[in-house]
Amino acid sequence: MSIGLDDLTVEAAKTPVELATDRFYFVRHGQTAGNASGIVQIPTISLDETGEAQAAAAAKLLASHHIDLVVASPFKRAFDTGVAVAGDRPMTVNPNIAERLFGDCMNKPASQLDWRKTAPGGESMDEFIHRTLVGLRQALTWPGSIAVVAHGGNLRVICGSLGVPLTETCLVNATPLLFERDAGKWRMTELARQ
C-alpha cells in the first residue's frame, strides 16, 4: 500500500460536501496491468483482460438498476469501464473526477508513493480532494439517477467527505457501490453483496 493513503480519507473528512441528491452509484474502474503490478498509473493505461471482465460484470449487475446517466473520469481505464457500465445509457466525461495527478511519480512503484507529499509536476493532496469534491457535485447536479465511474483515490475522498466507513472490499476494482442518504447520514452498499 502507498504511504499516507489513509491520510487521504482523514483529510477529506475535514471537508464535508453537500450534494443535490440523496442517492448515487459509484464504480471504480476495472483492473489494469498497473494495478496488478503495483505502479502509479498514467492516464492512458488500458484495462487488462481481468479489468474488461470486471467492467462487463459491473455492467451486468447494474443493468437492472435505474441509471439515467454515467459520468466518467477521462482516464482511459475509467472511461472504458464507464462505456461498459453505460451500455445504451448516455455517458459524459468530467475531468474533475480523474485520479490524482502524481507528476514525476507516474510509472513508479506505488509502494514508494507518499500521498501526503506533492510530487514535482503533480497535485497536492488538498488540490486533489477539492477537485474530486467539485467533480462529484458537478456530476450529481444532472437530473435523475447518476453512476460515477472513477478511481480509488476519488472513492477514498468521497467516503471521507460523506463520513462513510471505507472497507477494503469496496475498493476492489469495478465493485458497484450505492451511496444513499437517510436522515442526513450517508451509507454505502456494495451491490454485489446485497
pLDDT value at residue 194? 53
The set of residues, in sequence order, having a beta carbon less than 8 Å from that of 46 and lying 6+ positions away, is 32, 76, 77, 80
Who contacts 101 (Cβ-Cβ below 8 Å, separation ≥6)? Answer: 121, 122, 123, 128
Q: Which of 21, 35, 25, 121 is nearest to 67 (CA)?
A: 25
Residue with cell 460515477: 148
Q: Can you tell me the distance from the alpha carbon of 173 to that of 105, in angstroms, rounded to the nearest whole number?
A: 22
Structural domain of residue 108, as residue ranges?
5-193
Question: How far is CA 126 from each of CA 49, 100, 117, 167, rounded to the nearest angstrom?
Answer: 34, 10, 10, 22
User: Would you say how long the chain is, in residues?
Assistant: 194
Digit-by-digit pLDDT tens for the chain (194 residues) are 578 888 999 999 999 999 999 999 999 999 999 999 999 999 999 999 999 999 999 999 999 999 999 999 999 999 999 999 999 999 999 999 999 999 999 999 988 889 999 999 999 999 999 999 999 999 999 889 999 999 999 999 999 999 999 998 999 999 999 999 999 999 999 997 55
Whole-angstrom distance, CA of residue 178 vs CA of residue 104: 34
Number of domains comprising the chain? 1
What's the predicted TM-score (pTM) here? 0.96
CA distances from 48 to 44, 71, 148 (A): 12, 21, 21
d(CA 186, CA 162): 6
Assign residue 103 a region (left: φ > 0; alpha: ψ between -120 and 50; beta: otherwise).
left
CATH number reported for the structural domain that contains residue 168 in this entry: 3.40.50.1240
